[in-house]
Structure 1
Amino acid sequence: MEPKKRFIEIVQQLRTLIREEQIKEGDKLPSERVLSERLQVGRSAVREALRSLELLGLIETKHGGGTFLSTSPQHKLIEVLATFIMNDKKSITDVHATRLLHEQEAIRVICRNEKMRQLPVWESLFIRLEVKENVVRKDVLREIMIACDNRLALRIWLQLEAYSGKPMYGFITVQEKPYVLTLVKALQLGLEQEALQAHLAWVHHNTEKGDKEHGDS
């Protein structure tokens, strides 16, 4: 099963379990072992889903104390977003558009902030791409979201990315590499318009490629 479907399926099962068990904010969740048995999935799959939910702020892990349903004020907003994404199968276009808006705004923030532009991650990404190392698409975009230093935006983006599925998990191809190299270099130099245009060109390239692959299938 592809990552998107597995993630959504397990999260839906967890949501059902939380509702049926009447687990409230601040209450402890069952252990990984128990969840694995209850949901009839492997512990690694449960662990992956819990890690994603923690990044989204829906649960909190206390060292040596277990996992708890989050009491964060952000919990409600992310829960609404998660419900929309997981229950409305016609929302995929809106998901992509909303993810794009978050990425574009993060690029603007980075280009206007000297400290963010000088982060070593950009040079590291540039070198990895130049030496033809395999780089996953979502990793580049995630670094952009992390660098803009907005935790709520990052959590929302992670939920959107999880639903975007297979294309985000693929490696950057030779054809799309020029767009990404331009994007990374523009971020370093603070060239806002160039960075935004490179990002859009990269997104459009992948969208067109995905449409062609879908049409051939």
Structure 2
Amino acid sequence: MMQPKKRFIEIVQQLRTLIREEHIEEGGKLPSERVLSERLQVGRSAVREALRSLELLGLIETKHGGGTFLSASPQHKLIEVLATFIMDDAGSIEDVHKTRILHEQEAIRVVCTSAELRALPVWESLFIRLEVAEDVVRKDVLREIIITAGNRLSLRIWLQLQAYSGRPLGALITTQEKPYVLTLVKALQLGLTEDALQAHAAWVNNNKDKGVM
């Protein structure tokens, strides 16, 4: 049985091939999910996931009630190059992982150096959820940091990096991980950049050997 990540990558590659073969120009409309599902011979849920990924990259855009269109965004070409690198080079997984970490580190620096961002209620909410043993997903904490930093291009790139890194960031934070994450969140609130970066590094390194971050 084909691994989900490999199947996902192949679907995205098929979509890109179809766009080229159909000569769909920027701003042009893509076939419907049903049609794509039939032509690519995959389930509609798999097609929907691939389309969402391309939308996050900025390659396509969905208009409510109007269908899906190839993006005419100025970022289109830049992100297509990045997407090609990620999807076509099987030996680049470790570089993908390292680049994802760099985006997270820079977002931590941005949050720590902004009194306005540090004061957002999201950090206290996260801290309380972690302390009272509520289920918190790894990806949710990291994504919140990236979103708060306010760089939309970095967010789009990070979303793709974490999708292709082969690390299960969608899993729950374990009891062993929790002290690192609590320290990270509290350091973000207090603007302690080095402490936050160290907590993030410790969190990643603690899970590195397990292949989960």
Which category of TM-score, normalised to the shorter sequence, fits these structures?
A: over 0.9
Task: Give CA-to-partner distance per residue, 1:171-202, whole Å, 9 cap, x none.
Answer: 11111111111111111111111000000111
Q: Is the 8 A contact 1:135 1:172 kept in 2?
A: yes
* Matching of residues 8-87 of structure 1 within 5 Å: 8-87=9-88
Q: Secondary structure at 1:67's aligned position in 2?
A: strand
Question: SS where residue 211 of structure 2 aligns?
Answer: helix
Q: State yes or no: 1:121 paired with 2:103.
A: no
Mapped to 2, the partners of 1:170 and 1:81 lie a distance apart of 26
Determine the C-alpha separation between the residues in 2 that align with 1:5 and 1:128: 34
TM-score normalised by length of structure 1: 0.92
Give 2:197's aligned residue.
Answer: 196
User: Which residue of 1 is the match for residue 208 of structure 2?
Assistant: 207
Kindly report the root-mean-square deviation, in angstroms, between the aligned alpha carbons of the 2 structures. Answer: 1.5
More displaced, 94-103 or 166-175?
A: 166-175
- Give the whole-Å Cα distance in 2 for the aligned partners of 1:2 and 1:199: 29
How far apart, in 2, do the equivalents of 1:189 and 1:177 lie?
18
Structure 2 counterpart of 1:104, which letter?
A: Q
Contact 1:4 1:164 (8 Å CA) reproduced: no
Amino acid at match of 1:195: A
**One-letter identity of the residue aligned with 2:64:** H
Structure 1 residues not aligned, in runs of 5+ = 212-217
2:117/2:148 contact within 8 Å kept = yes
CA change 1:2–1:147 in 2 (3 A) is farther
Is it true that 1:94 corresponds to 2:95 in the alignment?
A: yes
Q: Is 1:159 matched with 2:165?
A: no
Q: Does 1:133 align with 2:134?
A: yes
| Deviation sequence 1:152-180 (CA, Å, 0-9, x none) | 11111111011013422221111111111
Question: Gaps spanning 5+ residues in structure 2: where?
Answer: none
Distance in 2, Cα, partners of 1:5 & 1:198: 32
Deviation at 1:135, TM superposition (A): 1.6
Q: Aligned pairs, how many? A: 211
Identity of aligned residues (%): 81
Report deviation, 1:49. Answer: 1.8
Structure 1 residues 175 and 85: alpha-carbon distance in aligned structure 2, compared to 1, 3 A threshold: same
What is the aligned partner in structure 2 of residue 214 from structure 1?
A: none
After TM superposition, the score normalised by the length of structure 2 is: 0.93
Aligned-partner Cα distance in 2 for 1:185–1:161: 24
Question: What is the aligned partner in structure 2 of residue 180 from structure 1?
Answer: 181
SS of the residue corresponding to residue 209 of structure 2 reads: helix
- State the Cα deviation string for residues 3-37 of structure 1 (Å, max 9, x = none): 53343222112111111212111110001111111
In the alignment, the residues of structure 2 paired with residue 187 and residue 3 of structure 1 have an alpha-carbon distance, to the nearest angstrom, of: 35
Q: Secondary structure at the match of 2:62?
A: strand
